[in-house]
Each structure stands twice: as C-alpha cells, then as structure tokens.
Amino acid sequence: MIPTSVQPRLILASGSAYRRELLSRLRLPFEVMAPDIDESPLAGEAPEATALRLACAKARAVAERAPGSIVIGSDQVATLNGEPIGKPGTHAAALAQLQKMRGQRVVFHTALCVWDGRATALTGPAQLENVQVFATFRDLPDAELDAYLRIEQPYDCAGSAKNEGLGIALLSKIDSTDPTALTGLPLIALTGMLRKAGIQFFTN
C-alpha cells in the first residue's frame, strides 16, 4: 500500500457496493462519493456511448467537488441484440429479462473513466476505456430462473444475474479481456490507467 503522505487523493465516484468491494482489492486508500447526475440515456445514443458518457460524467461531477483528486467513474450497459437491458427493479421484470436472455449471448459494456484533477497531470484530465464482456446464458427452464431470483434477488443488477454469486450458474461462457468488468469495475484496465496517473502498486 502506498503511504497516505504521498498517495494522491483517490475517490470512487459511485454508490455501488459492488464497485467499492472491487476497488478495495487493490489495497489503495480511497474515498467514496456518490455522483449526483442524470443517468438517462440520450435519444438515439448507442449503449456503449451511454456507458462512456455516464462514466465520464460521474467522475467529472465528483472531481468538481474534490479539486486535485484522482476520481474513478464507471458505468455499465448490458445489451441483447443491440438493445439495452437495464436494472430490472422487480421480480417480474427480472424474470422477463432472464427468459429473454436464456440461450443468448449478452454484451456488457463497462465503461471506465479516470479523471485526474491535478494541474500537473501529464495524461490530460480524463482517461476513458470501454471494456466489453460477452456472457452466454444457459437455456434454463422458468422454474430454475424463478428459484434463482428468489434466492439472490439481483434486482439492482443489469441483466438480473450476479456473476460474483449464484448467478454464475446461469452462465455457460464468459469472454473478456478483463473478468472483473462483468461485476462493474474493470480492474485490469483501471490499474493501467492509475499507473499512467502516477499511482504505484506493491509499495511498502
């Protein structure tokens, strides 16, 4: 862990417990601030463009409240045949999502923004990346899908499946260069961005 005396202030611009847990794996000191932005997609906006725009908007909104900090913003949009799949919110909506996705390959666009608010930043204020995950769902009967939802209740997850939990049993295949992207924060991409911003790892 980098001593706090030399570590730039690092902030996660998110209210997500999943992203907080993922970032904590890097063993870097960080704070959490929930961004207050409108997350509605724009008319005619491609899903991946929505994810990138919102990741940047989240990071920038928090950076304006914490000048001189390095801020991490992320957003995820799931798509099936090019159509966005949001957070279901209810059991009925989640079941409908899983029924639609069974036997199908769903693309998860996880966008990442690292906003460097320091005046001396050499990388420019924002680094952006969209990490795609291709998740193939098993063709399971309604009874199993319903039982899964009642056990895990993943109503706050796009695609209604928590891959870090029991939801992994719904999937037959995951293809990605960054497996943590499916959970909501691509750590392989993030560590590369943080290194460009001058963050060091494995320092006593």
The residues, any chain, with a CB within 8 Å of residue 121's CB and separated by 6 or more, are 197
How far apart are the C-alpha atoms of 89 and 115, rounded to whole Å?
30
136, 170 contact by CB (below 8 A):
no
Q: Is 75 among the catalytic positions?
A: yes
192: Cα separation from own chain's centroid:
16
10, 29 contact by CB (below 8 A):
yes
Helix 17-24 to helix 187-196 angle, to the nearest 10 degrees? 60
**Catalytic-role residue among 36, 38, 75, 175:** 75
Return the active site residues. Answer: 75
